[in-house]
């Protein structure tokens, strides 16, 4: 089959780092290997070049001058001009805001099929954001009619799209994927050596990695850590990442809490830790969670976003309700004191993501969806390529 040209529209891209950016960068070489010719259209933030090639992918950074409304209009118009020149077979928008707005406008002008990936559900998710805006309901209705395929990464998002009238045949379950070779589990001896090389203590280590923003609820972890230390005096909370909450969290922190700032390669820290914690109030499908599970870590996560899809409570991880500090504390106390249980949960977590969230499998599903939209070629199986609420 001839190469498929796909234009990816995303709010930010490398070297800016976030979950969506990292996922796209990880998938790019696998899609290219299947014959997909990628281009990335993104916003031009200060200090970044208008154009460069990253990992063999042309990255076009479009201007966003002035106030928010002007910046959005400028981005859309610039994207339309560039898409006319690129002539993609498929436009893949990441997020139901300006990326999908630009993609749908291009479809109207050029007749190109559009795929829209919904990045997050819940109160801070894509659908909720549109519903809270004066023009958002009409935009959702337009997207429902004109977007050819919505990529959902969790049951929560699938249900939200169903709730605004997106039919099952337009909702495709293609979750985020994880690189199983890079994020691998290690032996106890290797773990000990990694701790020594990273300057980490010998006691139990709980790890958070991600943006330090209010919805991640890292403040709850920091606030309860003195209680954790009362039972497990040698326990360490390791916080990887930066964000607007960083200074406040550092001021709150007592003994046994360490902040690393931004870490380029989180793999050795995951492999050196004993437990991964994600206390978020809202999520899409956390890449950090999938990476921790791939690394064979026992995980404690709130039951939001895609976490309940990938975690079976008590079998391959531990789920707690969001903003339930007592439940979070009880989970941490129990698992930090039970190395055998952590090992079992970590092994089963690795098995779970290996079966359903391996990066090559996700790339194959995307390629099948692109082929389906371009040529009408049937998807390989409805179980792999599509899921509605009834599929569960």
| Bond prior to 15 in cis (omega within 30° of 0) | yes
Residues of the chain falling short of pLDDT 50: 381-392
> Of 210, 84, 162, nearest to 387 (Cα)?
162
pTM, two decimal places: 0.91
Q: Helix count (H) and strand count (E) of the chain?
A: 16, 14
Provide the pLDDT for residue 1. 65
Phi/psi of residue 277, nearest 5 degrees: -130, 130
Residues in a beta bridge with 149 = 115
Burial of 129 (0-12, 13-18, 19+ CB in 10 A): middle
The length of the chain, given as a count of residues: 392
Cα distances (Å, whole numbers) of residue 305 to 24, 120, 282? 19, 7, 6
Instruction: Return the axis-axis angle of helices 287-294 and 19-33, rounded to nearest 10°.
Output: 70
Between strands 57-62 and 51-54, the pairing is antiparallel
Q: What is the C-alpha end-to-end distance of the chain, expressed in Å?
A: 33
Between strands 205-209 and 171-173, the pairing is unpaired
User: Strand order of the sheet with strand 36-43?
Assistant: 51-54, 57-62, 36-43, 4-10, 90-94, 114-117, 149-152, 171-173
Say if CB 221 and CB 279 are below 8 A apart. Answer: yes
Strands (E), 76-147: 90-94, 114-117
Provide the pLDDT for residue 385. 44
DSSP letter at 255 equals T
């Amino acid at each position: 089959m001839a190469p498929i040209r796909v234009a990816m529209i995303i709010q930010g891209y490398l070297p800016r780092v976030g979950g969506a950016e990292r996922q796209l960068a990880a998938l790019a070489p696998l899609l290219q290997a299947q014959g997909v010719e990628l281009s990335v259209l993104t916003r031009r933030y200060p200090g970044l070049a208008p154009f460069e090639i990253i990992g063999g992918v042309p990255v076009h950074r479009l201007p966003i001058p002035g106030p928010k409304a002007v910046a959005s209009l400028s981005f859309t118009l610039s994207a339309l001009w560039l898409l006319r020149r690129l002539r993609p077979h498929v436009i893949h928008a990441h997020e139901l805001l300006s990326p999908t707005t630009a993609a749908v406008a291009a479809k109207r002008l050029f007749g190109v099929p559009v795929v829209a990936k919904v990045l997050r559900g819940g109160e801070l998710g894509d659908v909720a954001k549109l519903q809270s805006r004066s023009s958002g309901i009409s935009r959702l209705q337009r997207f429902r009619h004109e977007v050819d395929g919505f990529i959902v990464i969790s049951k929560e998002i699938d249900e939200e799209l169903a709730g605004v009238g997106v039919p099952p045949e337009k909702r495709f379950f293609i979750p985020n994927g994880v690189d199983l070779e890079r994020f691998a589990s290690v032996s106890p001896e290797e773990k000990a050596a990694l701790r020594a090389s990273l300057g980490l203590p010998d006691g139990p280590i709980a790890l958070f990695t991600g943006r330090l923003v209010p919805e991640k609820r890292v403040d709850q972890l920091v606030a309860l850590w003195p209680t954790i230390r009362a039972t497990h005096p040698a326990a360490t909370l390791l916080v990887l990442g930066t964000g607007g909450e960083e200074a406040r969290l550092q001021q709150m922190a007592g003994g046994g809490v360490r902040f690393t700032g931004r870490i380029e390669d989180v793999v050795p820290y995951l492999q050196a830790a004993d437990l991964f914690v994600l206390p978020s109030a809202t999520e899409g499908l956390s890449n950090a969670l999938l990476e921790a599970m791939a690394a064979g870590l026992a995980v404690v996560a709130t039951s939001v976003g895609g976490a309940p899809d990938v975690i079976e409570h008590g079998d391959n991880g531990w789920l707690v309700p969001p903003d339930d500090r007592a439940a979070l504390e009880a989970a941490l106390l129990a698992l930090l004191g039970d190395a055998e249980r952590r090992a079992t949960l970590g092994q089963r977590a690795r098995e779970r993501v290996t079966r359903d969230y391996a990066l090559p499998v996700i790339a194959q599903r995307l390629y099948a969806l692109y082929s389906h939209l371009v040529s009408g070629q049937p998807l390989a199986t409805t179980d792999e390529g599509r899921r509605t609420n009834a599929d569960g």
